[in-house]
Structures are given as C-alpha cells and as structure tokens.
Structure 1
C-alpha cells in the first residue's frame, strides 16, 4: 500500500436512501475506529455502527460499515465503506468529520480506480469498461461494458501478447543459443505462430468499428432543405421538443443532437441547418456544420418537402449516397403522387403531423443501427480509438517481420525488434508492459544452462 489515505462519496450526489462513502489506504482502518469508537469488524461482514465525530463526539449517523483488508479490495489497499443515509446533511457531516481525521485527504477524480490499476486489480481495458458501464444508456452498451470490465478484452490482448513474447523468446533463443539442444524446426514454428496471430489481428480489426459505434452511438444526420420538417421529425423521434420548430426558413442554425435508445442500441440523431445558399453569415456557418456532420455520419436521412414535388432540392439531392435514407414529409398535403424511388433510393412517405410512416421509419432505423453495432458473440471488439491504433501498429510490425524473414537470418536484429514492438503495442492497451519477462520465457522453455 502506497500513497495517502483517501476518501470520497462513491455513490451519486443528491438525496437518496443510502449513500456510500469509501476510504482507501493505510489509515482506512484507523479512520473507521476513530468514527465508530470500536475495533475493526470482521472483513467483508456488514456491521451496524453508530458513527460519531471524533472531534466533539456528536452523532453523525447509524451506518452499515464494511471492512476490506488489503489486498482483497477494489483498490488492493485497506478499504472501508460507510453506507450512511443519503441526505445531504448526513453525507456532508460524515465527509467533514473524515476531513478532520489525521492522515486522510479527499480523493481526486478517478483516484480509487487509478489505485486499482496501479495495484494490478484492473488493467486499462477493465478501467475503461468500468467507466463505460457507469455511462451506459442502453442494454447493448451495458452488456459490452460488463464484458470489458470483467476483463474479456484484456484477456484477449494479453493472450496475444504472451504469444508474441513466446515467439520472440524462441526467435532470440535460436540466434543466441544455437549451440544448445533446441527443438527442431524452431524457426518454422515461430513463423507459423506469428503468421496466425497476424491473421487473427487483421480479422479482429475488420469489425466495422462496431465496438466503438456501440460505445459512442451510431451517428444519424437529418439533412434537407429549409422547412422540410427536419426539426419536427427529430422531435417526433425524440418524443420531446428538442429542436425549435418554426415556419420561418433557417430557424435551425446549429447542429442539435439527441441521444435515442433504439431496441437497446444507441443512436445519436443530429438535426442540421437547412441546406441552401444564403447571405446570412450565421446561417452559412450552420450550413457548413451541417455538411461536416453529414460527412462523418454513419447514416444520413434526407428529408424533402412534399409541397415542392415534383421538384426536389438539388443541394440535398447531390448529397445522396447509396445507403442514404430518403423521406418525403408532409405526405398528407402532397399535391402530386409521391414517387416510390428517387435516384434509385426507396422513398419513405412521412407525415410528422399525423404520424404516418413514423413507426416504419423507426423500425428501419433500428435495423440499420443494430447491424452497425451488433458485436460478434465469438469475441470482444475494440471499443476505443486507442485500442484500434495500437492494434494497427501491432499488425504493421508483424507484417514487417513476416516480410523481412529469411532463412539466413540477415537482419535478424530488425526482425526481433519488430516482434518486440508488436508485443509492446499490445501491452500498452492493457497497461502491462514488462521488461524482464523475455528472459523468464527463455529459461523456462529451454532450461538454458541446466
């Protein structure tokens, strides 16, 4: 156990039935004794205790307390949890009393989890999974975060890294201990192992960024000319007045975003400024942002005004792509028949006013979102850009190794460095980058010097 003893409210702020205050560090047990006037309870056994201010003896609360002796705790240090009544006065009183206990200080943001990482209770992917679990808004996000916080992603990358460390150890053993009795065909075995791992990495990276989309939400841009009903459509999808609706063209001048839950999958919907040429500098900026958001969107929904048929806004029409959804709003007042297709795109007749076509559109959106988010049950997927970047660097290093390889070992030092870099990149994902483990593998596998 290292560092100061820290404390903080571990549950949410505001009024609640129960609030949890956590204390972690070498003086956690002494702090509990100071507040309770009793010896420490048995580890992991809840005990009802009257807490008093160590300064003046004033009663703070009757609380359930839990004692976790190191290393069997979340942080790996001695930990105390105080389950007190969740009123602000009670919580503030207990925190104030703890501030007067010698050796304690208020925890910094994320410090409990950081100590859990530093004490090898969690790897970096588990830390990120825990953060994602707290932020999860949909069932699918929760499931992915749970899998990651329980170490599934970290175990995959650690397993690959262990394979690389073993391959590197065998490769260097063949070079450095050529006079020893090493297994035959060792070089070919190393090559086969690296080639297989390279294939697995590339397959892992070809996931369509589903893990990242699931974590962040699929991005849907509603685009179209002014007064087509884009803001009304977003309000209907969100089931609340998220965007201002007006008959005045150009009302929406910035990107308005709303998070939706579609069949357990996250969707980030953006209502954008009407696409048109304008002399208004602010509206011009809104149109620029609309185009930029649409370019980065996973799905585009183009909305046209039925009252303008048979003509269609050319600016919006130019932005249609193969997977763009096309909707004609105000279908209830269309003066001419609504076409079945536009530029090869099926058309969704809509009436935000009457609700016509909304359920069908939501069903289609849910299908598109689930396809972009549904992670394979065969294994976890990268959930952050840093995972993907490190994996790409790993794959590049392995590819260099495979290209460089030759039976004469010309440039073998560079080959070894490629394997070393690949293992290091994988280690950076989980935060487990060891220095001495290569020698351990060499001596364990080949008993050099026996």
Structure 2
C-alpha cells in the first residue's frame, strides 16, 4: 500500500483564504514538478526542504495556469509521514482545490484513504497508535482542557506510562526466566515472591490510570447534560446563560420548549453537551407530550442532570415526579429564582435526595453560577490532577485493553498462589504485556489499525 503516492485536500470543505493539497510518497516530488512552476524557475528537486516557493500550478496538457500558489517540499524522513511530502498552498475555493487535486491524480498520485497520512506516520514509526488517535482528538477538541489532553497524548504522556508498564512486566518475565534457566541456583521462590509484590504494585498503578477513563472520555466527547424541570422554572434561561447567547426561546408561557435543544458549552474547561428538555408536566397537547416523553428518556441516558426547581413556588406533583427520576442519577439540584421570596420546601428535597448537592442560583443576577461551575468541574475530575490530563485514558479501546491487562495480571497472581511453575506465570505476564502493546500499536492486528484510521477525515 505504501508503494503508492497519495494526494488529498488537507483543509476543511468550504471557501477560505487558503486551501492545501498534500502529496505523500516516493513520487511526491516528481508529481509536484509536473504541475508546479516556480517563479524563479528553480527545479523542484533543487528547492530546499521545508522552504516555501512562490509559483503557479499549470495544467501540463494545455499550459493553462490554474492558480498562483506556494509549494513546500518536505523530504523524508523529516515530514509528517516520514516520506517525501509536498504541500501546495493555493486559494481556498473549491474549484482551484479540486482542479489541482485532479492534476496530481493525472500525474501519478491516487486519492488518499481516510486517515492515510496519519496511518503512514504510524506505520513508519513517527507516531504510536495512541498518539495517532490524539491527532483526531486535537481536531475535534471543544475546550482548552480537551485540547490539553489531546496534545499531551500526542506528545506521548500516555504512551510513556504504557511503555513503562510494559517494561516492568518484561523485567518480571526476565527475572522468572532466569530462575527457569538456572534451577541449580535455587532462586525460584525468591524470584516468584518479588514478581508477586511487583504485580500488586503495578495493578495499583493501573487502577489509578483506569479511574481517569471517565474523565478522559468526557473531555474527549463531552459531558452529556440534561436540564430538566417543570415549565417556567428557568431551564431555557439557564441554557442561554451557560452558552452566553440567546439560543432558546424564553417566555412566561408554559410549554414553550417542546422539542429537544442540544448545544455544547465550555464550563471550566469541561465540554458540556447540554440538552434543554421540554418542561415535565401533565398536558393534553400531543406535541408537548412527545417532548415530555423525550425529556424523560434523556434523563436516563445523561451523564449529568441539572434539575431546576423554582424558589418562589411550593413543591408540586411535577417536582415530586422529577425528584423520583433523580434517585439513581448523577445530578445537581439547582434552586432557581433565589432572589425571590422563598416558598419552596428545600428541606423536603434534602430528605428525598440526601446525597445530592443543592445550589441556589438566579439566572437573572447570575448568582450561584461560579459554585455551579466548580461543582461540575469537581464532579468530572473526581479529585484527579488536572495538569496530568495528557496521561488520561480517553477511549473505549484503551479502557478495554487496560482492563484485560489487569485480568491477566490477576491470573498471574492466582498462578503464583497455586504454587505453579514459573513457566505458567510467564505465560500470564506475556499475555498482559501483549495486551498493553495493543494500546500503542506494538502488538495490534491490521484489522484494528484499519478500523481506527477509517474514522479520520481524508486529508489527515
């Protein structure tokens, strides 16, 4: 596959000031030389690596100038893919980009598959698999915290931890194999005891890393958050306040929000995927009934529920219905309109949900908003150090590999407990070592690699 030279548009679809066509492979420079003519008439092969040269892209069939461009060659191995790479920077309209891309195909390139540039960077040893996945996480990051995590993973913070774990396991294997190879030294028992102690320590470290999985997933994908409450309690006002824009319609008429509104908000660096639901109440309006049913379903699937209650109104049957829905949910109880006369029985809410945090807020004066932000951030990080985001587990594949590694280590401990031969302990440890290698891509199958990179955009 890597024999081919590939080409693709590397910038987003749409009009812009600049568009980039990227070419990678052994023939990248030759292909570029067929369509690019430098204004200083310097041959393509004589242009210094990583130096931008001004010129034109010309159709070699009829010598028509397609666009004025900058051309940047990057010679192997000092490029993103560790192959020869040429980037052509043209004007960012769809027509010049498409025309130039077509010329690269006619000159000998083929269209890159999704993620193929990054896949080649992985296969050529520039990135490991977790770093390669971090490239797409950087592109998709929605807050500073999610960007920090992705950049940290790209720099190898997470990979370094995994490599250290693999190194520790290899040392255990070597220790046991030495005992197997030199039985006359009678070190079996000592070696086994040391390995058992080291496995216990390693498992403790891995448990800590696994606990970052929920936080990592939230920073990567967003915390799915449902705002619920009865009509006119201030749900849409809270949504607008969190978004810093008038996204939802706010009126005194009950039932204004009938459908579900989804938006992303940045709360203390945590990306919140906020769902503003229809007010929960008994209604004969068929459309509103559907909205209420949807709201109840979103409560079930949400990572976090922001439940609003009106400080100026007494507890109603709708409020009691909402409290019942929150018994087994991660939820923050928000008492809105705290600047009005108190009529709500907060003691009753505390008696029903004694373990849920209650925050008094006002969507008018913005009172209580800093406390709400702190509560959300504390809930997401769960005491973990925010500065170490780059070492967080952040996807299902990594979590599952770590979980299975822990199972193999547990099996190794059971093997030791049964006083079985060191050969059997080595088998369990080698299985753990190989499973960790799937995270960095050292021991992963080609089908998994293909599946991961298929999720990338074509130009990356």
2:79 is matched with which residue? 73
Question: Partners in 2 of 1:429 and 1:326 — Cα distance?
Answer: 39
SS in 1 for 2:237: helix
- Structure 2 alignment gaps of length 5 or more: 38-42, 351-356, 446-460
Question: Partners in 2 of 1:347 and 1:371 — Cα distance?
Answer: 14
2:396 is matched with which residue? 385
User: 1:144 offset after TM fit, Å?
Assistant: 1.0
Question: Partners in 2 of 1:432 and 1:97 — Cα distance?
Answer: 37
User: 1:31 offset after TM fit, Å?
Assistant: 0.7
Q: Does 1:142 align with 2:142?
A: no
Q: TM-score, normalised by structure 1?
A: 0.84
User: 1:326 offset after TM fit, Å?
Assistant: 2.9
Q: TM-score, normalised by structure 2?
A: 0.82
SS in 2 for 1:142: helix
User: 1:173 offset after TM fit, Å?
Assistant: 4.2
User: 1:383 offset after TM fit, Å?
Assistant: 0.9
Question: Partners in 1 of 2:73 and 2:185 — Cα distance?
Answer: 54
Question: Partners in 1 of 2:211 and 2:142 — Cα distance?
Answer: 26
Q: Does 1:152 align with 2:163?
A: no
Asked if the contact 2:192–2:416 (Cα under 8 Å) also holds between the matched residues in 1, the reply is no
Question: Partners in 2 of 1:310 and 1:198 — Cα distance?
Answer: 49
Choose 340-349 or 179-188, whichever is displaced more: 179-188
SS in 2 for 1:318: helix
User: 1:104 offset after TM fit, Å?
Assistant: 0.9
Question: Partners in 2 of 1:148 and 1:161 — Cα distance?
Answer: 18
1:366 to 373, 386, 389: 373
Asked if the contact 1:218–1:369 (Cα under 8 Å) also holds between the matched residues in 2, the reply is no
Distance 1:39 1:325, change over 3 A: closer
Distance 1:338 1:262, change over 3 A: same
Question: Partners in 1 of 2:272 and 2:86 — Cα distance?
Answer: 39
Q: Does 1:319 align with 2:325?
A: yes
User: 1:404 offset after TM fit, Å?
Assistant: 1.9
Asked if the contact 2:303–2:330 (Cα under 8 Å) also holds between the matched residues in 1, the reply is no
2:225 is matched with which residue? 220
User: 1:364 offset after TM fit, Å?
Assistant: 2.0
**Map 1:105-124 → 2, pairs under 5 A:** 105-124=110-129
Question: Partners in 1 of 2:437 and 2:186 — Cα distance?
Answer: 28
User: 1:349 offset after TM fit, Å?
Assistant: 4.9
Choose 220-229 or 394-403, whichever is displaced more: 220-229
Distance 1:229 1:178, change over 3 A: same
2:360 is matched with which residue? 348
Question: Partners in 2 of 1:402 and 1:385 — Cα distance?
Answer: 26
Question: Partners in 2 of 1:199 and 1:331 — Cα distance?
Answer: 45
Asked if the contact 1:339–1:347 (Cα under 8 Å) also holds between the matched residues in 2, the reply is no
1:420 is matched with which residue? 430
1:293 is matched with which residue? 298
User: 1:332 offset after TM fit, Å?
Assistant: 6.7
User: 1:145 offset after TM fit, Å?
Assistant: 0.9
1:211 to 209, 212, 216: 216
Asked if the contact 1:327–1:348 (Cα under 8 Å) also holds between the matched residues in 2, the reply is yes
Q: Does 1:394 align with 2:401?
A: no
- Structure 1 alignment gaps of length 5 or more: 436-450
Question: Partners in 2 of 1:12 and 1:145 — Cα distance?
Answer: 20
Question: Partners in 1 of 2:49 and 2:187 — Cα distance?
Answer: 51
Asked if the contact 1:338–1:349 (Cα under 8 Å) also holds between the matched residues in 2, the reply is no
User: 1:386 offset after TM fit, Å?
Assistant: 1.7
Asked if the contact 2:313–2:344 (Cα under 8 Å) also holds between the matched residues in 1, the reply is no
Bigger relative contact order (CA 8 A; separation at least 6): 2
Q: Does 1:178 align with 2:201?
A: no
Question: Partners in 1 of 2:118 and 2:19 — Cα distance?
Answer: 19
2:274 is matched with which residue? 269
**Map 1:246-257 → 2, pairs under 5 A:** 249-257=254-262
User: 1:272 offset after TM fit, Å?
Assistant: 1.8
Question: Partners in 1 of 2:358 and 2:156 — Cα distance?
Answer: 44
Q: Does 1:64 align with 2:70?
A: yes
Asked if the contact 1:208–1:372 (Cα under 8 Å) also holds between the matched residues in 2, the reply is no
User: 1:316 offset after TM fit, Å?
Assistant: 1.2
1:162 is matched with which residue? 167
Q: Does 1:431 align with 2:441?
A: yes
Write out per-residue CA displacement over residues 217-245 of structure 1, whole angstroms, 9 at most, x where no aligned residue.
22322111234332333233323343355
Question: Partners in 2 of 1:190 and 1:347 — Cα distance?
Answer: 50
Asked if the contact 2:312–2:343 (Cα under 8 Å) also holds between the matched residues in 1, the reply is no
User: 1:284 offset after TM fit, Å?
Assistant: 5.3
Distance 1:340 1:141, change over 3 A: same
Asked if the contact 1:218–1:372 (Cα under 8 Å) also holds between the matched residues in 2, the reply is no
Asked if the contact 1:340–1:347 (Cα under 8 Å) also holds between the matched residues in 2, the reply is no
Asked if the contact 1:210–1:372 (Cα under 8 Å) also holds between the matched residues in 2, the reply is no
User: 1:108 offset after TM fit, Å?
Assistant: 2.1
**Aligned-pair RMSD on alpha carbons?**
3.1
2:12 is matched with which residue? 12
Asked if the contact 1:253–1:273 (Cα under 8 Å) also holds between the matched residues in 2, the reply is yes
Q: Does 1:131 align with 2:130?
A: no
Asked if the contact 1:307–1:333 (Cα under 8 Å) also holds between the matched residues in 2, the reply is yes
Distance 1:317 1:399, change over 3 A: same
SS in 2 for 1:160: helix
